[in-house]
Amino acid sequence: MPTAPRCDDTIAWSALQGHFQGHGRTLDLREAFARDAGRFEALAVQAPEVFADLSKNLWDGTTLRLLIELAQACDLPARRDALLAGEPINSTEGRAVLHTALRAPRGAGPFSDEVHGVLDALLAYAETVRDGAASGITDVVNIGIGGSDLGPQMAVPALQAFSQPGLRLHFVSNVDGHDIVPVLAKLKPESTLFIVASKTFTTQETMANAHAARAWFLAAGGTDTARHFVGVTTNLEAAARFGITRTFGFWDWVGGRYSLWSAIGLPLAIAIGAENFRAFLAGARAMDEHFATAPLDANLPVLLGLLDVWYRNFHGFGSRSVAPYHQGLKRFPAYLQQLEMESNGKCVDAEGRALGLGTSPVVWGEAGTNGQHAYFQMLHQGTDVIPVEFIAVKHTTHERAGLAPEVAAQLADQHVKLLANCLAQSQALMLGKTADEAATESAPTASKTLDPAVLARHRSFPGNRPSTTLVLEALTPRSLGALIALYEHRVFTSGAIWGINSFDQWGVELGKALCNQLLPRFASGDAAGLDASTAGLLARLR
């Protein structure tokens, strides 16, 4: 497709700079709400399964209009259409990027026959594993790393309420043996299924752990490795060479961090079953359709991606914190770290030109309310402004576990506490507290001897700190699918504005290559040609 102009060469970019220098920089949320009674409604978006309150962000109608102009100037709609049509937009690897084809209904997307052929076989197999009485399987161990680990590792606990009782899922990723050892200690070979998940089937960590698992299996008296080891990969030959006879394939047009929808989702499919897995895909598909068809100013992934650009390149915010107020989403921030930072952590554009502007923010977070008792202090009173993304879930699903009525009543009460905490945090970030307000409040734990004016300054909050709140009705297979797809398209949007290739990851290669060069030096001790620091550390660690 034709080259779009660089985002910072567009008229819209200059207009945004002018707007920022004018009143964009000084926008005060408290005043904005006081001035405009309709601000919440005006900045609320209902996307499939996900409602978003964007009103506590440092933007207004003008910002939004200019950001949409920027999206148009950067050819976002054409770039999105090229993505969805399967054009080879991953230019450095000459590949299409078609994770959306994995959730298209039969007959509706590219490669439909291949996609649905594998999906049908995968789900049929997942059902046989779930039938513990017939399969004898009680424990499933996924061995993979990065995109071959983080997706299932995040989604399985998220959908715990929909999972097969009595079936335990484990995840091993790190080449550090301290990862696999405690897992193996819980297993019996005859009731364990190992899934070796690797797009390339060459990744050092995964291959090492697969060998460790097979050595353990045989040493512990396991027989029939063909039944107890299954592969998920695009490299069917390498899986066969490892000795795996049952393999589910996928394709080079599925990026690792976008692969949860493919056979990489096998652990999730085993946990939640075929019907729920199809609902998970359908939720993502609904978000795909929203992304493809909603007008830009009502298109949630587009708006979130544009907000990211606004914060990163105009406000200069270097990080974004994600706070899911649902314990099932405790691994969601880690999942987003790969999705966002591996996709958009780039310093050249798709043409290879130095960008000279900020790209991916640091994405980090922790399940609420735990984060409140750790780093929220910094969010409220630290010197950096860090936009926070709250994810609230209206209805619980833990009652599906069949709780006694008195326990269910207690947990219903806890859920209200959880939601109140979530709202209170976004409110506190925005409202803050002046030193005068602090001075008039009683603070029983505060020093009685310190100058009250000094104390009040310690107890004041700047406020005007931005946040977005996403609301799901319940955390279900369908809503989780939509939520993940929302983030995928948001990352695409900011990447498209920056003009980068969001689908390669050359930045992980150098470390891999140097690791391979260092490995023999651990045996030989040869430090010739190494810098003094690496040589000194090598000597110490041998």
User: What's the one-letter identity of residue 469?
Assistant: T
The angle formed by the CA atoms of residues 126, 127 and 133, to the nearest 5 degrees, is 115
Directed axis angle between helix 477-498 and helix 300-309, to 10°? 40
Q: How far is the CB of 257 from ligand F6P (least distance, A)?
A: 6
67/230 with CB nearer ligand F6P: 230
Q: Is 369 one of the binding residues for ligand F6P (CB under 6 A)? A: no
Q: Please, what is the minimum distance in Å from the beta carbon of residue 83 to ligand F6P? A: 18
The secondary structure element, H or E, covering residue 530 is none
- Enter the DSSP assignment of 105: P
Residue 519: closest CA among 497, 540, 542 = 542
The least CB distance from residue 349 to ligand F6P, in Å, is 20
Choose between 127 and 179: whose C-beta lies nearer to ligand F6P: 179
Q: What DSSP element (H or E) covers 322?
A: strand 319-325
- Shortest approach of ligand F6P to residue 144 CB, angstroms? 6
Q: Is 151 in the site for ligand F6P (CB under 6 A)?
A: no
Nearer to ligand F6P, 222 or 256 (CB): 256
62's CB contacts (< 8 A; 6+ apart) are 19, 24
- Classify strands 44-47 and 229-233 as parallel, antiparallel or unpaired: unpaired
The single residue among 24, 48, 109, 147 that binds ligand F6P, judged by CB under 6 A, is 147
- Written as six digits, the tokens of 337 are 């770290």
Q: Is 203 in the site for ligand F6P (CB under 6 A)?
A: yes
Minimum Å gap between C-beta 303 and ligand F6P is 27
Q: Does 146 bind ligand F6P (CB under 6 A)?
A: yes
CB 184 within 8 A of CB 216: yes
Applying CB under 6 A, among 198, 464, 479, 493 the residue interacting with ligand F6P is: 198
Identify which of 193, 266, 186, 255 has the alpha carbon closest to the alpha carbon of residue 227: 193
Determine how β-strand 44-47 pairs with β-strand 50-53.
Answer: antiparallel
Cβ(488)–Cβ(302) below 8 Å: no
Beta-sheet pairing, 246-249 with 319-325? unpaired
Residue 196 or 456 having the CB closest to ligand F6P: 196
Is residue 256 involved in binding ligand F6P (CB under 6 A)? yes
Residue 202: both structure tokens together: 């060459």
Q: Which of 1, 443, 508, 515 binds ligand F6P (CB under 6 A)?
A: 508
Contact code string over 406-435 relative to ligand F6P, x by CB under 6 A: ------------------------------
What amino acid is encoded at 97 in this protein? V
* Cβ nearer to ligand F6P, comparing 468 with 505: 505
Nearest CA to 162 among 272, 280, 277?
Answer: 272
Between 493 and 505, CB nearer to ligand F6P? 505
Q: Where are the beta strands (DSSP E) in 396-503?
A: 467-474
Minimum distance, C-beta of residue 514 to ligand F6P, in the bound complex (Å): 15
CA distances from 311 to 65, 305, 334, 451 (A): 15, 10, 21, 38
Q: Which of the ranges 76-84, 101-109, 193-201, 471-479 carries the binding residues for ligand F6P, by CB under 6 A?
A: 193-201
Q: What is the DSSP letter of 348?
A: B
Q: Select the span of 20-28, 195-203, 219-227, 401-409 touching ligand F6P (CB under 6 A).
A: 195-203
Under rule CB under 6 A, residue 453 binds ligand F6P = no
Span of 197-205, 299-307, 354-362, 419-427 interacting with ligand F6P by CB under 6 A: 197-205
Near ligand F6P by CB under 6 A, which window of 179-187, 200-208, 313-321, 384-392? 200-208
Residue 390, beta-bridge partner list: 323, 469
- Residues with a catalytic annotation lie at 342, 373, 512
- Minimum distance between the CB of residue 229 and ligand F6P, rounded to whole angstroms? 16
Taking the CB of residue 499, how many other CB atoms lie within 10 A of it? 24
**Contact between 346 and ligand F6P per CB under 6 A:** no
Nearest distance, CB of residue 500 and ligand F6P, angstroms: 16
For 285, counting Cβ atoms within 10 Å of its Cβ (0-12 exposed, 13-18 middle, 19+ buried), the class is buried
Phi, psi of 331 (to 5 degrees): -95, 5
Contact residue for ligand F6P among 214, 257, 326, 465 (CB under 6 A): 257
Q: Does 515 bind ligand F6P (CB under 6 A)?
A: no
Nearest distance in Å: CB 97, ligand F6P: 13
Sign of the dihedral defined by the CA atoms of residues 57, 61, 65, 70, in that order: negative
Distance CA(59)–CA(356), nearest Å, equals 24
Residue 206 contacts ligand F6P per CB under 6 A: yes
Residue 243 beta carbon to ligand F6P: minimum distance, rounded to whole angstroms: 18
Q: Which stretch binds ligand F6P (CB under 6 A): 83-91, 194-202, 269-277, 367-375?
A: 194-202
d(Cα 271, Cα 278) in Å, to the nearest integer? 13
Q: Under a CB-based contact definition with an 8 Å cutoff, are residues 128 and 246 in contact?
A: no
User: What are the φ/ψ torsions at residue 197 (nearest 5 degrees)?
Assistant: -115, 115
Choice between 33 and 364, CB closer to ligand F6P: 364
- Contact between 505 and ligand F6P by CB under 6 A: the answer reads yes
> Out of 199, 285, 312, 478, which residue is the one contacting ligand F6P (CB under 6 A)?
199
Question: Three-state SS for 48?
Answer: coil
- Which region among 90-98, 146-154, 173-181, 520-528 touches ligand F6P (by CB under 6 A)? 146-154
Cα(38)–Cα(74) distance, integer angstroms: 30
Concatenating the DSSP letter of every residue in 35-78 gives: H-TTHHHHTEEEETTEEEE-TTSS--HHHHHHHHHHHHHTTHHH
Interaction mask 116-145, ligand F6P, x per CB under 6 A: -----------------------------x
**Between 100 and 343, CB nearer to ligand F6P:** 343
**200 touches ligand F6P by CB under 6 A:** yes
> Which C-beta is closer to ligand F6P: that of 145 or that of 482?
145
List residues binding ligand F6P (CB under 6 A): 145-148, 198-200, 203, 206, 256-257, 342, 505, 508
